[in-house]
Amino acid sequence: MTRKRVLSGIQSTGESFHLGNYIGAIRQWISLQEDYEVFYFIADLHALTVETKPEILSKRTLAAAAQLLALGVDHKRSAIFLQSHIAAHNQLGWVMECMAGFGEASRMTQFKDKSQKNGADRTVVGLFTYPMLQAADILLYQADLVPVGEDQRQHIEITRDLAGRFNSRYGTTFNLPEAFILKSGGKIFDLQDPTSKMSKSSGSTNGVLEIMDDPAKNVKKIKGATTDMGKEVRFNEVEKPGISNLLTIQSALTGKTIPQLEDAFEGVGYGDFKSAVAEAFVTYFSPIRERALNLLEDEPALIQILHEGAAKARVEAEKTLNLAYTNLGLVR
């Protein structure tokens, strides 16, 4: 029996992944590789929507690869690769741009938010066409499941719309993928502003836990997290967004359920609860950080792994691109 396919990507827009990336997405990448055929890539082309010095972009891309491996992506079972190593992403991206309406692309909330924040003149066209490249990323691998955080839901929906439109015009070509989004942990919030998502582009870094940062720095951030009125460690996202966010984090890091944690922290003050979260974070991520730093010492080995992943992925991507081109009537 052929195994179902999983695909996901992450941008290389920072030196480190943050805790939201891990809990919302990468943790699922790792568990899904047990039973699925998986394709995971670093969206280095999407990262070009943020202007970055060349030497910084390449450093970030390798740091992303090292972190994925250190977090548990197994390159023997999974294809782990760079988006820019497979030309078919751009090639099918153009086809998707020709499928998408200007209006529907204009309604993408990530584009609206970012373009409103920066103004039209400072917003690159690549940010507008970003979801169509993302659709190509997914459809090329005929993915069944796409593990992502809540903020990517709309991009998976437009992917399904574009695939459905293509299939009905040109004959069945693409599998329609499903988003795989956690109910708890699909959106991790900023520690300082627990009503906004934890994000690489957040104004201040105090609310963002970066897994490659010095552990002491993250302990300080967790201990300084905004808490709420009252004294009880209880999950209530409306009244206690700060504590609820920390409970979600603690649950993901310890494997305990939220009710179990509420019981365990009954009668414990916020300060001691935050110390426990800080301890869980350090215990969890210190060995991962060490592993990633070790992997970064041998860049040629990392690049070799990415080339091997690309070789596996390219075969699938080119098969789908060819089928799409043929069905479109492009002369082969």
Give yes or no for residue 316 binding ligand TYM (CB under 6 A).
no
DSSP 47: G
Residue 114: helix, strand or coil by DSSP? helix
Smallest gap, in angstroms, from Cβ of residue 168 to ligand TYM? 23
Q: Judged by CB, which is closer to ligand TYM: 24, or 194?
A: 24
**Nearest CA-CA partner of 28 in 137, 173, 211, 180:** 180
CB-CB contact of 156 with 179 (8 Å): yes
Q: Is 207 in the site for ligand TYM (CB under 6 A)?
A: no
93 scored as a contact of ligand TYM (CB under 6 A): no
Q: For residues 29 and 145, what is the distance between their CA atoms, to the nearest angstrom? A: 10
Candidates 94-102, 134-142, 274-282, 289-297: pick the segment binding ligand TYM (CB under 6 A). 134-142
Residue (137 or 173) nearer to ligand TYM, CB: 137
User: Within 138-177, which residues bind ligand TYM (CB under 6 A)?
Assistant: 138, 146, 148-149, 151-152, 155
* Interface with ligand TYM (CB under 6 A), residue from 16, 61, 67, 134: 134
First to last CA, the chain: 31
Cα separation values, 243 from 74, 90, 221, 231, 239, Å: 34, 43, 14, 10, 9
SS3 of residue 260 by DSSP = helix
Enumerate the β-bridge partners of residue 81.
41
Q: Are 249 and 211 in contact (CB under 8 A)?
A: no
Which of residues 175 and 272 has its CB atom nearest to ligand TYM in the complex?
175
The span from the CA of 309 to the CA of 28, in Å, is 19
Which residue has its beta carbon closest to ligand TYM? 24
- For ligand TYM, which is the closer residue by CB, 268 or 288? 288
- SS3 label, residue 194: coil
Query: Residues 6-45: x/- map of binding to ligand TYM (CB under 6 A)?
Result: --xxxx--------xx--xx-----------------x--
Window 211-250: contact mask with ligand TYM (x via CB under 6 A)? ----------------------------------------
Work out which of 62, 80, 93, 137 binds ligand TYM, going by CB under 6 A: 137
Instruction: Tell me the sheet residues that pair with 11.
Output: 43
In the bound state with ligand TYM, the residue whose beta carbon lies nearer, of 13 and 173, is: 13
Which pair of tokens denotes residue 36?
């699925």
Q: Can you give the binding site for ligand TYM, defined by CB under 6 A?
A: 8-11, 20-21, 24-25, 43, 46, 134, 137-138, 146, 148-149, 151-152, 155, 186-188, 197-199
